[in-house]
Every structure is written in structure tokens, then in C-alpha cells.
Structure 1
Amino acid sequence: MRTHGWSGATPADDAEAIARILDEARRVLDRTGGDISITDVARGLGVTRQTVYRYFPTAEALLVATAVAQVGPFLDLLAAHLDGISDPADAVVEGIAYTLEQISEEKYLGMVLAQGRASAFSAGVTSDTALTFGRAILERFGVDWDEAGLSGAAFDELVEHMLRIVQSFVIDPGRPPRSGVELRNYLRTWVAPAVDRMRVPDRAS
């Protein structure tokens, strides 16, 4: 890590540099309402644009990383909403439905998931950003994934499957869009059985 700039307060390492870039990017996003400029972020940090580009090659990459870093409060709300649901299929159904319903309410969640060039899905549901976000969602569920037989490769496939479902609803919510009971009934019919099929037979209830 270069020690040039940083308004005289050099980060101790790359991890601190990234954290400070993301923090400044969040301030820029809050000020602009959703637009981000590498120039503005660099100016706020007292570094050159090249310094920011060293960690984030494009403004889009920085926007996605910033939004993902700010969805912690939503994940806390999700965990509280799903409290008491221990069945994997029920948790996945409610988790998908609740996430879709909150996109318009949670600013940073919307940046991560809403249709557009800058989102966790911009590089596809198997991108590192999307999969990291998907794992963060499932890990907040009150489900013993190991006990259900959904660990390792099976858990990774479940993350991918959930993201593919979310992506499809983000791209095309339906005409008219499903919500509430109708959305959950649809997911119970078509998504829950897939989750159950992935479970170890003698552990499935």
C-alpha cells in the first residue's frame, strides 16, 4: 500500500484503506442520493483517483461494495423477522419474500438488488459479490443448516438458487406483481420443494 496522500493520516494497511474508501463513498452516496464519483471520493480522502482505482477498478464496483457494506441493518431486521422459523424451506420462502418486499424501503438494499447496472447482480448471480451477499442472508436465518444436511456444496447451491429466484423477481416482478400471501404461496409451491429435495433424506421432516 502506498503512503502518499490521505490528508496526512495514512492507513495502517490495505484493509483500513478499503474501509476508509467505503466510508467516504457512503458519505458521497448520502449526499448525492445514489450517484457516486471516484473524483469526489478521492477528493474527500485527500488522495488521487488512481489510489481509489487501485482498490476499486470502476465507480460501479465501488458503488456495489459500498451498498453491500451498508446492508447490515437490513440483515438484522431480516433475522428478527425470521426469528422462530427453523424449517429450511419455510425460512427460505419467507426470507425471499421479505427481502423482495423491503427493496423499495431499504435504500442500500435497493442499491444492491434493484434492477440496473450497479447491483450485486451486475456480474450475475454467481459473482463473488452476489454470492457473498446471498450467504450473508442465509446465515442470518435461525436454521441449523448442518443439521438439515445443507452444508458445503449443498449450501452454496442453495445460495445460488435463492439468488436466481430473487433476481428473476427483481427483473420481472410479474403483471401484476405478486406480494403478500400470493407471493408466499407461489414460493411455497415452486421454491420450497426444491429446498426440501436438497436436504439429507433422513434429516428432512
Structure 2
Amino acid sequence: MTSRPQRVDAQANRGRILDVAEDVFGRGGESASTEEVAREAGVGIATVFRHFPTKAALLQAVLIRRLDRLRAQAESLLDTVPDPGAAFFDFFRHLVADAPTKIAIGDALLDAGGDEGGEATQASLGLRRAVGALLDRAQRSGAVRDDVELPEVYALLVATSRAAAVASLDDEVKARTLAIIFDGLAPRPH
């Protein structure tokens, strides 16, 4: 049996549901509901469940789409930003700013029994590889010290992102924290 393509209105509903769910779960995390998503998307709960049979399936689709979008942004910086250092540091800053929403969605997915090691994990690895490519390019240009590797950089990124999300750091504290991290990643005079 072959699956037939979705009708245009069904595709539009699916996209609207994903857009709204990203916002709702990004704000509310685990406490947000599929009913709230349906209400804000202007569709019935049955429509939500027709596209996404469980809350976990909806959250997984939202998280994968967000991670894929971030990966695509990182990959585009490789080709569009001539300064490799600026591309790397600006994207690091962007990921920290994006963290509260991404973390809320990820935590809600785990709370809903979401997929460990599945498609969301693969999307996360794709983002990690793109960050690694930005790091490599920045190191080759001399903008980032060459004795750090992706695991250390990712640990700094995750820690800073979690702190920004959980501790509700104000913009000034975030900026100073990033300045300290970026100073530590800068090449050392020999």
C-alpha cells in the first residue's frame, strides 16, 4: 500500500501545528499540553492527533525541525560569512540565546517518554557536526586556539546554554560570561 500525499490543507495544518507547538512547548515545557497547541493553532485536538498520534511524537517533530533549522543555519555560515571567527562566535552566541526554548522542548520530550537515541538524537548530532565544522574553520583561520577540540567547546556551549536557560541570566551577565568563554578560546601568544 502506498501512502498518498497529504492534501494542501492538511499540509498547512501540520505546519501550523508544528509552529504553534514550538512556541507553546518552548514557553511551557513539560506543563504545556496538546490541547493548548490545538486551541492556538485553530484546529481540533483530533487534527493534532491525526498528524501526531502522541504528545511525544509531536514534541519529537518539533525538536527535530528546530535542530535541523539550527544545523542549516550553521552550515550556511560556512559559505556566507567570510570571517570564520565571527561565524563561529556569533553562532555560539545564537545557540546560547536559543537554548531556553530548545531545552524546554527537549525536556518536555523526555518527560513525555520521547525517543532516546532516535531521530532527535540524530538531528542533534547533525547540529554538533555543523558546530564542529565552524570550529575547524575558525581554528584554521587563527581565530580560535588550536589546542581545543569539539568536546570541550560543546561542553562550554551546553553549560552556558543550561545556565542561561535555568538561571534566567540577564543580558549583561550572559554577555560577560560569553566574553570570558570567548577570551579562553582565543589563540594564546607564543
Please, what TM-score do these two structures have when normalized by structure 2? Answer: 0.50
Greater relative CO (CA pairs within 8 A, separation 6+): 2
Structure number with higher helix proportion = 2
Please, what TM-score do these two structures have when normalized by structure 1? Answer: 0.47
